[in-house]
Structure 1
Amino acid sequence: MAKSLLFIPDISGFTHFVQNTEVEHSQHVISELLEVLINANTQDLKLAEVEGDALFFYKENEIPSQEKLLAQIETMFTAFYSHLKLLEKNRVCPCNACATAPDLQLKIVVHCGELQFITVQEKRKPFGQVVIEAHRLLKNSIVSDNYALLSDEVSKTIGLPVSYESKLYHFRESKDTYDTKEIIYLFSEISKNKLKLTPFAIPEVVDFKCSPAIVLTKEFEIPATQLLEYITNYSYRHYWAKGVDKFEYNPGEVTRLGTEHVCVIDGKRLNFTTVTKKASPDEIVYGERTTDVPIHALYQFFVIKSLPGNRCLLTVEIYPKSKSIVHKLMLFLLIKRVVRKSVKASLDNLEAFVRNDAIA
């Protein structure tokens, strides 16, 4: 029987991350990272299982070449750390989950052997001793939490020398004993500084040369970070946003600079992009921009400042942008009246929602 490949990317630091951060945002972060790893699959690996913080891939009756396998490992490390850099640089939320996400690391374990299968709920799943060994290799004596591990069976199959070195890889031999069976493996720590991380769009930081057209303020009897969650988590928007029929967004994504969502108002789709502007150190800023309006663009900023006693002050600033005299007249006649009324109603709804949620 031909050998099959077992390939397990495992996010290091997951247990500590979840236990010591806000649960919902930590779940979103891990979900995003797992999606990134799945999308980085270049070798047509089959996904057998999502195992919490890990992915269990396999390739039946085939072992990729040394070049392809090492390239696959590098691709996943590159995608993983590129996304962590994106989360770090474009972060809006100050919660522990979003702030400590860049501390997560990745390890990849690769094994091979004769693979058996069982069928569970009409789904064919890898089974057997080689599967057990692959998962036990995750519990090894390597001090680092950021490495690629190839079992001796894999390294011999692809012809990987014990002393193999490249710009990224510096393999060393080690071994561990599992249930009296000794398994030898090669491992290489991976330096993210040697990865060519994927560039991402620089977030838009708006610098207005004028005062906002509309300014509304309201105090809330909750901490600033909690109010930010009610505003930036779009699953809450329908509870308080005035006049919006539907919100469309990625529910598995933490809102950050550059993320997008859609507001459907009277059948018209308004596309919004998250932006920011300069603020004081004691302020949290979340901004949205849309160009799907009769004028050139409309910016809406939520500026939250902490107050004593677990309270906060929310200031909403509206900046309409126009290029023509006609549009400027529209701003004066429409924005000042209609938008102010809508925003004020939304803030009243938000206050009522916060109060009712606290009681519940």
Structure 2
Amino acid sequence: MQPALLFIPDISGFTRFIEASDNPQAPFLIADLLEILIEANTLDMEVSEIQGDAILFYRLGPPPPVQELVAQCRRIFLDFQNYLRLVERDNSSALGAALRTHDLTLKIVVHYGRVNVAHIREFTKLMGRDVIVVHRLLKNNIMGGEYLLLSEGYLKTQSLTDLTRSFSWTRLLGGKTTYEYLGDINYRYAHLTPLRLLLNGHHTPDGAPSGRGNSLKVRHTMRVPAAYAFRLVRNLRLRYVWLEGATAVHYDLSKADRLGVSYKVDVNKGQIDFQTVQSFQGEERIEYVEKISHFRLFPNSLLFFFIEAVDEHSCLITLDFRYGYVASPSSLIRYGQLRRVHRFWGRSLRNLVALGERMANKVSK
């Protein structure tokens, strides 16, 4: 038996949403959300299993300090909710309408105990009483579906002072549930709703935005019509030509012009995963959004393209790179990565502008 942290984020409202929305895209959205949860892992946990709407993470060894655990829960909740907000704002989408009607949110259950780790072919299976406990704790007496639950097993590893300090933003309440064969299990829990004040685009009661989160922007004018620039941005075949350091792009040709398509770009010695998420064409501005995975130290990031017509023959392009956090404990590394990524997008945009103007000139001759 080995000591282990057991951590389960569970999507509340999953079954109701799948059944009531009756949308063929709903299962794909849930898959995207589960991927968001996995990429938001800041505690170096391993995935044991995915069960429909929940993921069992584990980490062998001593428990993390409660400050780090709360930071992990905050990160996973914000990344989850920010992605939902992005989908919800599409007024023309049936999926967006379904989300506005059937609220999806997150509950997180944390337990610390002892487990047996069994390797069955390519799978890792956790076994033991504490694995049963953490799963049973998903069914409890807590009202609502948006909370963090800390079991007594984890609470015993932390000091009362650290617990109080880490939950200054909400109330830490006591609870107990009786389970067949397991008996009474005590826990404490905190509602995560106050964290919604930190979401991107949140508006305060007086209507003023409270902040847009972490964002890096670069912009440049391009001497081509806005519609031409938009076609260029969406052309996956040309992505490696203008993305700085890229050498190749991989995608399914039969799905290249659809929203939701995923593609990979070879950049330097690694690979970046992109997924097209949204596209809006308004009278004054065109907007195109992609989700980025496996991008250096910026998990769960989004790339917004804003294209605004200057006149009939030119436009202004803004690349807005939005990220939740920089995955490094070192402030020096975080600062260096932000500068490096800002240069990366700046050079990429200049490459895009040069490519677009060069192609437009060839067409006009």
Q: Which runs of 5+ in 1 are unaligned?
A: 205-209, 214-233, 242-246, 262-272, 279-289, 299-321, 334-360
Q: CA deviation at 1:134?
A: 0.3
Amino acid at match of 1:3: P
Q: Deviations over 1:270-308 (max 9, x none)?
A: xxx876899xxxxxxxxxxx958965399xxxxxxxxxx
| Structure ID, larger Rg | 1
Amino acid at match of 1:256: Q
1:70 aligns with 2:84: no
CA distance in 2, matches of 1:30, 1:86: 14
CA distance in 2, matches of 1:145, 1:87: 20
**Residue 184 of structure 1: aligned partner:** 186
Let me know the Cα RMSD of the aligned residues: 4.2
Match of 1:193 among 196, 202, 210: 196
Residues 170 and 45 (structure 1 numbering): CA distance in 2 closer, same or farther, change over 3 Å?
same
CA distance in 2, matches of 1:248, 1:138: 33
Equivalent pairs counted in the alignment come to 255
SS of equivalent residue, structure 1 residue 62: coil
CA distance in 2, matches of 1:172, 1:129: 25
**Residue 155 of structure 1: aligned partner:** 155
CA distance in 1, matches of 2:358, 2:29: 31
**Residue 47 of structure 1: aligned partner:** 47
Residues 297 and 50 (structure 1 numbering): CA distance in 2 closer, same or farther, change over 3 Å?
farther
Amino acid at match of 1:151: S
CA distance in 1, matches of 2:160, 2:184: 20
Q: CA deviation at 1:331?
A: 5.2
Percent identity reads: 31
Residues 133 and 211 (structure 1 numbering): CA distance in 2 closer, same or farther, change over 3 Å?
closer
SS of equivalent residue, structure 2 residue 25: helix
CA distance in 2, matches of 1:22, 1:275: 32
Residues 253 and 27 (structure 1 numbering): CA distance in 2 closer, same or farther, change over 3 Å?
farther
Q: Deviations over 1:35-65 (max 9, x none)?
A: 1211111111111011111110011132111
SS of equivalent residue, structure 2 residue 15: helix
Residues 136 and 161 (structure 1 numbering): CA distance in 2 closer, same or farther, change over 3 Å?
farther
TM-score by length of 2: 0.57
**Residue 304 of structure 1: aligned partner:** none
**Residue 79 of structure 2: aligned partner:** 79
**Residue 95 of structure 1: aligned partner:** 94
1:115 aligns with 2:115: yes
**Residue 238 of structure 1: aligned partner:** 254
**Residue 60 of structure 2: aligned partner:** 60
**Residue 296 of structure 1: aligned partner:** 357
Residues 248 and 86 (structure 1 numbering): CA distance in 2 closer, same or farther, change over 3 Å?
closer
Q: Is the 8 A contact 1:25 1:97 kept in 2?
A: no
Q: Is the 8 A contact 1:41 1:76 kept in 2?
A: yes
Q: Deviations over 1:178-223 (max 9, x none)?
A: 1050101100001233436544689x9xxxxx9989xxxxxxxxxx
**Residue 256 of structure 1: aligned partner:** 278
Q: Which runs of 5+ in 2 are unaligned?
A: 201-212, 220-224, 229-250, 265-272, 280-287, 292-303, 310-350
CA distance in 2, matches of 1:87, 1:3: 39
Q: CA deviation at 1:116?
A: 1.3
Q: Deviations over 1:50-95 (max 9, x none)?
A: 1111110011132111221122111211221222233334x37511
TM-score by length of 1: 0.58
Counterpart mapping for 1:133-148 below 5 A: 133-148=133-148
Residues 162 and 42 (structure 1 numbering): CA distance in 2 closer, same or farther, change over 3 Å?
closer
CA distance in 2, matches of 1:18, 1:294: 43
SS of equivalent residue, structure 1 residue 145: coil
Q: Is the 8 A contact 1:13 1:104 kept in 2?
A: yes
1:175 aligns with 2:236: no
